[in-house]
Chain A
Amino acid sequence: MADLHSTFLGIESPNPFWLASAPPTDKEYNVRRAFEAGWGGVVWKTLGEAGPPVVNVNGPRYGAIHGADRRLLGLNNIELITDRPLEVNLEEITRVKKDYPDRAVIVSLMVPCEEEPWRKILREVELTGADGVELNFGCPHGMAERGMGSAVGQVPEYIQMVTEWVKKHSHLPCIVKLTPNITNILGPAQAAKAGGADAVSLINTINSITSVNLDMMSPEPMIDGMGTHGGYCGPAVKPIAMNMVAEIARNEKTAGIPISGIGGVTTWRDAAEFMALGASNVQVCTAAMTYGFKVVQEMISGLSQWMDEKGHASTADFVGLATPKVTDWQHLNLDHITKAEINQDDCIKCGRCYAACEDTSHQAIEMSEDRIFTVKDDECVACNLCVNVCPVEGCITMRTLAPGEVDERTGMVVPAVDDKRTWLQHPNNPSADPNMCIVRGQ
């Protein structure tokens, strides 16, 4: 079994699986159970200022999107930060950290946008023995209306300012948690870096309405006949989160800042993917809320089996390995040609590929009288739609044409491997340098 030990900002944990700041980490009872189940670390549910704690709604706070067989794909919530007194949380954090010195305990914070409250709470967090702090600039509902959470996270200047205060008043490693409710994630990430953040974590939840009650004509979850937008998370948000992680990891201005990847991590594979794109570890919320803390056991065994198979000795070995492969569209090789291929042994003859291609793509699948489905190489543009709609995994695959083969659709001969042509060298590109253009006989 591979060693999953992880070091993030000098913080040690037995594996790279942390629980994100959310209900699973809301109290001592939960966190102890999480550690017993095997989680490597936790980011404690966001703490606010001392004084009367925030109040949550007392009706449903979650909405959900289900896939086939009621599999939960997306969760939405209108919960606020912790609704328990600050002192109680701080005492519990102290006790838990003392009992689990080998696990990471990070404290998530959200106080008003003034220096004094930040100074004050940091002093108190330091006394707990916690390993670091995470600044919650992401919560998209409720707290944002009070000038906190994503209201800060959407203004890079504020992010930088608060981060500077935190670095000034505390020696603890500081992670800035970013909101995805913004057009370009690089602005906030850059601001965090400029403010001296040790790392960024992302994503927090996405503004959303999951469903509308058509009898009551109200969004759900519905509180006394009304609803509000919530924060969306779970498997459905993973693609959005991974793109944002990759953008930060590959962009010159932000590259190099350590990243904690969050958003839809449910299996070992999700974690490996986030890490390959540049996250040093991952945080999980919805998967634990859907399946319980035990779900981490599959993440641990799966990642370790995969690392053994790939020969990775430590979790740091594969962080960012896929980052250099994330590029702009204009750098993709336009002479790389593939064709869909249907494995007749696996095909169950449902005809979904045909419907998809015939009605909405390139009419490149032929259906015979006796329901044999075959790809017409002279029509197939290799869009991958049939692969994605086929119910049998691996039944339709993409075959890459070798150099020298002819693309029957265009008549073009596939050039040698190193002789590639991107949009920048393509004759159809009006702004391409004509001297650099490569024309292929077609």
Chain B
Amino acid sequence: MSNSQQTPGIVPNRLPEEAYQDNFSDLHPRLDDHEALVAADRCYFCHDAPCMEACPTTIDIPLFIRQIATGTPKAAALTILEQNILGGMCARVCPTETLCEEVCVRETAEGNPVEIGRLQRYATDTVMEAHPFARADATGKTVAVVGAGPAGLSAAHRLAMHGHDVVLYDARAKAGGLNEFGIASYKSVDNFAAREVDWLLSIGGIEVKLGQALGNGLQLDELQTRYDAVFLGVGLAGVNALRCDGEDKDNVLDAVEFISDLRQAEDLSSLPVGRHVVVIGGGMTAVDAAVQAKLLGAEDVSLVYRRGRDRMGASEFEQDLASSKGVRIITHAAPTAIHGNGAVAEIEFAYTTDGANGLEETGESFRLRADQVLKAIGQTLGDANGLEIDGGKIKVGETGRTSRSGVWAGGDCASGGDDLTVTAVAEGRDAAEDIHATLMGG
């Protein structure tokens, strides 16, 4: 440990070696057998279960929990994976407190839901050694899937399972999308994202082509002539700008980039982090950036959001997680200027209030010391490739059909649904089913 939490500037090695290991260990470790049985026993096997309804991929939760309770977690895993091929990742990253667990009848009864997410992890972990699904007979049809994030992976897998030949393109050098580059590291430890991708691809019939970007080499027209159908799962490549003075100063970064570097780091102690870090935003990305900056050894981390806590995209659970790690959450403050000589030194905020005409500045302001500012104020669609847009995203119908015949889209880049891993998986799967029906129908 050459540096400490008090070392000025942006430096690596702020913590003792062991601290990194502890700080970035599994947020929700796997339940052991006894814990799983106790947790599973609490499920009532509800009829037309509300939890199942709340799951974007409609996993048969009562059934898989019953399968765990009767000692057949592998059967439980199949129940999960039939609906959601990334059930392993979703078990780790889903904000269950706002999805299935929020509506669990045990939450209603005693304020303490069945631990659906952790049970899902318990079950799926039992089948990660070998791929459990087989491909149908070859159809002779080919589909291009662009983007190897959750949406693209889910679509590619479902298409391959139906016997189509899939080519999966991604601009990056590694598949996985935000599972690999975005999700907080304590949610996906031990290289789980990459292992899950390998496991998913081992169904066969999916050729992966990395380092190939649509709009930069690949063209939609050309893909359409070469393949029977195209699915786009390109996520959100752009980031919103702060639009305040001094935004271009050094050490003012996009939070997603900061996280992506962190996720790819071989050795966390070698990652430089500021002493005084300020994160701007109120979503999951903001919380993840703030928490991980703190865990890397920043002395103080403030997360500043322009509205109230109830409007934050991050769930209460996520907010509490941030607080428990020592992140200070400041609400009702909007950045007005970034000060510093070359690099950021201070950031100035105006207090805000919810007025009649939306957010208004109160006239009062304050400054925070900052040697690193992380912007997490939302991402935007990159190139729409000439497709019709709706609310800043590619406009799609129920099953992911875009304005262009033969082109489907899903996940963060497509309109409708929350920007969540599980939603991307559902949309990829449903588009694949529609592509399958379309290709086989005539």
- How close is B152's CB to chain A, nearest CB, in angstroms? 29
- Annotate B12-56 by CB proximity to A: 1 below 8 A, 0 otherwise: 000000000000000000000110010001100101000000000
* Pair B63/A294 contact, Cβ less than 8 Å: yes
- Residues 66-103 (chain B) with a chain A CB within 8 angstroms: 66-67, 70-72, 74-75, 78-79
- Annotate A182-201 by CB proximity to B: 1 below 8 A, 0 otherwise: 00000000000000000000
Asked whether A358 is an interface residue with its Cβ less than 8 Å from the other chain, the reply is no
Known: A295-B45, A297-B63, A298-B66. A305 touches B37 (CB 8 A): no
- How close is B241's CB to chain A, nearest CB, in angstroms? 52
Report how far A268 CA is from B42 CA in the complex, Å: 19
Q: Which residues of A contact B62 (CB under 8 A)?
A: 294
* Pair A305/B45 contact, Cβ less than 8 Å: no
* Pair A305/B34 contact, Cβ less than 8 Å: no
Report how far A393 CA is from B33 CA in the complex, Å: 9
Report how far A267 CA is from B41 CA in the complex, Å: 13
- Annotate A276-295 by CB proximity to B: 1 below 8 A, 0 otherwise: 00000000000000011011
Q: How many residues of chain A have a CB within 8 Å of chain B?
A: 19
B: interface residue count bin: 10 to 19
Q: Which of A269, A302, A394 contacts B75 (CB 8 A)?
A: A302
Closest to B66 in A: A298
Q: Which of B34, B70, B74 contacts A268 (CB 8 A)?
A: B70
Asked whether A69 is an interface residue with its Cβ less than 8 Å from the other chain, the reply is yes
Report how far A304 CA is from B78 CA in the complex, Å: 13
Closest to A269 in B: B70
Closest to A270 in B: B70
Q: Find the residue from A269, A291, A301, A392 having the highest chain B CB count within 10 A.
A: A301
Q: A294-B63, A301-B67, A305-B75 are in contact. List 19 more A-B contacts (CB 8 A).
A: A69-B41, A267-B70, A269-B70, A291-B45, A292-B47, A294-B45, A294-B47, A295-B45, A297-B63, A298-B63, A298-B66, A301-B72, A301-B75, A301-B79, A302-B67, A302-B70, A304-B75, A394-B33, A394-B34
Asked whether A306 is an interface residue with its Cβ less than 8 Å from the other chain, the reply is yes
Q: List 29 A-B contacts (CB under 8 A).
A: A69-B42, A267-B70, A268-B70, A268-B72, A269-B71, A291-B45, A292-B45, A292-B47, A295-B45, A298-B63, A298-B66, A298-B67, A298-B70, A298-B72, A298-B75, A301-B67, A301-B75, A301-B78, A302-B67, A302-B70, A302-B71, A302-B72, A302-B75, A304-B75, A392-B34, A393-B33, A393-B34, A393-B37, A394-B34
Q: Which residues of A contact B34 (CB under 8 A)?
A: 346, 392-394
- Annotate B296-331 by CB proximity to A: 1 below 8 A, 0 otherwise: 000000000000000000000000000000000000
* Pair B42/A305 contact, Cβ less than 8 Å: no
Report how far A292 CA is from B44 CA in the complex, Å: 12
Report how far A291 CA is from B75 CA in the complex, Å: 19
- How close is B129's CB to chain A, nearest CB, in angstroms? 15
Q: Which residues of A contact B63 (CB under 8 A)?
A: 294, 297-298
- Residues 315-362 (chain A) with a chain B CB within 8 angstroms: 346
Report how far A306 CA is from B47 CA in the complex, Å: 26
Q: Which residues of A contact B74 (CB under 8 A)?
A: 305
Q: Which residues of B contact A392 (CB under 8 A)?
A: 34
Report how far A69 CA is from B72 CA in the complex, Å: 22
* Pair A306/B72 contact, Cβ less than 8 Å: yes
Report how far A64 CA is from B351 CA in the complex, Å: 62
Q: Which residues of B contact A267 (CB under 8 A)?
A: 70
Q: B residues engaging A (CB < 8 A)?
A: 33-34, 37, 41-42, 45, 47, 62-63, 66-67, 70-72, 74-75, 78-79
Q: Which residues of A contact B37 (CB under 8 A)?
A: 393
- How close is B144's CB to chain A, nearest CB, in angstroms? 33
- How close is B183's CB to chain A, nearest CB, in angstroms? 30
Report how far A294 CA is from B49 CA in the complex, Å: 12
Report how far A301 CA is from B77 CA in the complex, Å: 11
Q: Which residues of B contact A304 (CB under 8 A)?
A: 75
Closest to A308 in B: B74
Closest to A292 in B: B47
Report how far A335 CA is from B79 CA in the complex, Å: 46
- How close is A272's CB to chain B, nearest CB, in angstroms? 11
What 10 A-B pairs come out closest when comparing CB atoms? A301-B75, A267-B70, A302-B72, A298-B66, A305-B75, A291-B45, A305-B72, A302-B70, A292-B47, A298-B67
Report how far A304 CA is from B74 CA in the complex, Å: 11
Report how far A291 CA is from B45 CA in the complex, Å: 7
Report how far A301 CA is from B79 CA in the complex, Å: 9
Q: Which residues of B contact A346 (CB under 8 A)?
A: 34
Report how far A19 CA is from B37 CA in the complex, Å: 27
Closest to A291 in B: B45
Report how far A69 CA is from B69 CA in the complex, Å: 15
Report how far A301 CA is from B45 CA in the complex, Å: 16
Q: Which residues of A contact B70 (CB under 8 A)?
A: 267-269, 298, 302
- Annotate A115-134 by CB proximity to B: 1 below 8 A, 0 otherwise: 00000000000000000000
Q: Which residues of A contact B42 (CB under 8 A)?
A: 69
Report how far A241 CA is from B34 CA in the complex, Å: 29
Closest to B60 in A: A297
Q: Which residues of B contact A294 (CB under 8 A)?
A: 45, 47, 62-63
Closest to B67 in A: A298
Closest to B65 in A: A298
Q: Which residues of B contact A393 (CB under 8 A)?
A: 33-34, 37
Q: Which residues of A contact B79 (CB under 8 A)?
A: 301
Closest to B74 in A: A305
Q: Which residues of A contact B47 (CB under 8 A)?
A: 292, 294
Q: Which residues of B contact A291 (CB under 8 A)?
A: 45
Q: Which residues of A contact B78 (CB under 8 A)?
A: 301
Closest to A293 in B: B47
Report how far A269 CA is from B78 CA in the complex, Å: 19
Q: Find the residue from B37, B42, B47, B66 having the highest chain A CB count within 10 A.
A: B66
Report how far A305 CA is from B74 CA in the complex, Å: 8
Closest to B49 in A: A294
- How close is B105's CB to chain A, nearest CB, in angstroms? 13
Report how far A297 CA is from B41 CA in the complex, Å: 17
- How close is A173's CB to chain B, nearest CB, in angstroms? 31
Report how far A268 CA is from B70 CA in the complex, Å: 8
Report how far A294 CA is from B74 CA in the complex, Å: 19
- How close is A354's CB to chain B, nearest CB, in angstroms? 20
- How close is A282's CB to chain B, nearest CB, in angstroms? 15
Report how far A299 CA is from B41 CA in the complex, Å: 17
Report how far A267 CA is from B47 CA in the complex, Å: 17
Q: Which residues of A contact B72 (CB under 8 A)?
A: 268, 298, 301-302, 305-306
- How close is B145's CB to chain A, nearest CB, in angstroms? 29
Closest to A346 in B: B34
Closest to B75 in A: A301
Q: Which residues of B contact A305 (CB under 8 A)?
A: 72, 74-75
Report how far A302 CA is from B41 CA in the complex, Å: 17
Q: Which residues of A contact B71 (CB under 8 A)?
A: 269, 302
Q: Which residues of A contact B33 (CB under 8 A)?
A: 393-394
- How close is A249's CB to chain B, nearest CB, in angstroms? 24
Report how far A45 CA is from B75 CA in the complex, Å: 32
- How close is B91's CB to chain A, nearest CB, in angstroms? 19
Report how far A268 CA is from B74 CA in the complex, Å: 14
- How close is A299's CB to chain B, nearest CB, in angstroms? 9
Q: Which residues of B contact A306 (CB under 8 A)?
A: 72
- How close is B35's CB to chain A, nearest CB, in angstroms? 10
- How close is A303's CB to chain B, nearest CB, in angstroms? 9
Report how far A268 CA is from B67 CA in the complex, Å: 10
Report how far A302 CA is from B76 CA in the complex, Å: 9
Report how far A297 CA is from B45 CA in the complex, Å: 12
Closest to A266 in B: B70
- How close is B337's CB to chain A, nearest CB, in angstroms? 57
Q: Which residues of B contact A297 (CB under 8 A)?
A: 63
